[in-house]
A and B are shown apart, each in its own frame.
Chain A
């Protein structure tokens, strides 16, 4: 169209300006800072170096990276194992209840995860609800120490992030044409085969999107280890936070977050591939 008008010019320029200034520019700055050297007077200084990236593979930091990935991956896996069947059942519930049931997943999705983490403390602490319940039931005789352990961090991550897994999977299951499943059964596939060969591939974009929405924040939510894990440095998020606020080593902190961004980029790539693969199977 050649009658562009004022509206188009204003809106396109405004959003372009904003995104370049507050998304592109900061990203470039982080990348630049990750290649510089830590300064004393200023925060960063020349010369250019890859030293910061090399330090990531130092045993000290590598340990944090690996344990962080491990914890995030395990949380993602558990969220998937619980979230997939849950989302699937939810999408197959009768429409009468579905709307309200879905709303009950959306509410924790939007609720402050700090508040929810705090609620978890009440449950997990030594004199908390869980221990009292277990003692009362006679399952245990001594209160368990759960709070301030890795297990607590793990529970906290799953609790905070489960809705982020459920919602995208729900969306992709709901879109699924139930006739495709009927067709598979009609053509001789068992229930299990239908699920593995038809349902899973077609809901793959939801699975990957959900995994991304769980895995990436799980690497970075520093307040969960802070509050539930007893302030031990456990996640890449804590490492980055400490580099910026206590150790004041910005270049190293930047390098760590560039690595995090790269992980995101790889996951996005996988996501796009799966979306395109699924699209191809749908009628135009």
Chain B
């Protein structure tokens, strides 16, 4: 294949991936409510967005859920990754299997199974159920990120630390944790974006009195295209962009 073909093919695919987002961002600054034509730059849609108090509350809800579930999932996931890597124990393959199911299961299936679980346990749908569900679907991403970081370094390193006199705890604090840190932070960031962006699972497990951003956007979008939504989506996109960039930098630092 010659270079021209290669270049144009890749450009077309990248345009397909990015053009809609670029259009969205550009139009969020367009000084016109309905028309497609360009009527000059304005920040009024952002202004309107920021003055909408109810939207602030929804955003805060989302940030709270994302922050707590990412933190919890990162703690539990990192611990499990270390345990999976270092120890052999009964039922390990079974737990692996459950994590695989968690990664592969279609979100809609997870959504309804959480719903059935919470209803049969009589837990009212809302903040708490949302949190439990988000922690669960973030978990495998942390496990995989941290685990792959662990496999990246020499297995003998842990033995070397013990050989030089480190206890189990010192070994974890002085050697394992510092080496895992970039993976742990990346895992947290990715969990955070996953939680912030999730629609399908949240759709089933949250109650009417606890609204979060993606579901709010979903209900707004069903009403049609509005410049305020352009602005909101732009902000959310910019946010994800920043978080993913940081996570990628951390993961690349490895070599």
Contacts and interface: CB of A to CB of B under 8 A. Distances in A.
Contacts of A11: 79-80, 82-83
B113 A26 contact: yes
The prevalent SS among residues of A at the interface is helix
Given A43-B119, A114-B217, A22 B136 contact: yes
Contact of B233 (A115, A237, A268): A115
Contact of B19 (A103, A113, A123): A123
Dominant secondary structure of chain B at its interface with chain A: helix
B117 A22 contact: yes
Contacts of B132: 22
Given A128-B36, A268-B100, A123 B83 contact: no
B104 A18 contact: no
A226 B241 CA distance: 26
Given A19-B95, A221-B200, A257 B112 contact: yes
Contacts of A115: 24, 197, 217, 233, 236-237
Given A29-B120, A114-B199, A15 B95 contact: yes
B158 to A, nearest CB: 11
Contacts of B199: 112-114, 223
Given A86-B9, A106-B244, A159-B20, A1 B197 contact: no
Interface stretch (A47-55, A179-187, A211-219): A211-219
A39 interface: no
A65 B109 CA distance: 15
Contacts of A216: 104-106
A122 B120 CA distance: 41
B214 interface: yes
Contacts of B87: 1, 4, 8, 12
Contacts of A223: 199-200, 218
Contacts of B113: 26-27, 29-30, 257
A103 B98 contact: no
Contacts of B200: 220-223, 237
Contact of B76 (A14, A20, A212, A220): A14
Contact of B17 (A10, A29, A104, A118): A104
A90 interface: yes
Contacts of A220: 106-109, 200
B191 to A, nearest CB: 11
B206 interface: no
Given A101-B10, A114-B218, 17 more contacts: A7-B172, A16-B95, A89-B9, A108-B17, A110-B194, A110-B240, A111-B21, A111-B240, A112-B214, A112-B236, A121-B225, A122-B20, A129-B36, A162-B17, A212-B104, A227-B222, A260-B109
8 contacts: A16-B95, A19-B98, A89-B10, A104-B17, A110-B190, A119-B23, A220-B108, A223-B199
Interface of A: 1, 3-5, 7-8, 10-12, 14-16, 18-20, 22-27, 29-30, 33, 43, 82, 85-86, 89-90, 99, 101, 103-108, 110-123, 125, 127-129, 132, 159, 162-163, 212, 216-217, 219-223, 226-227, 236-237, 240-241, 244, 250, 253-254, 257, 260-261, 264, 268
Closest 6 pairs between A and B when the two form their complex, measured CB to CB: A26-B113, A112-B197, A220-B108, A119-B20, A15-B80, A11-B83
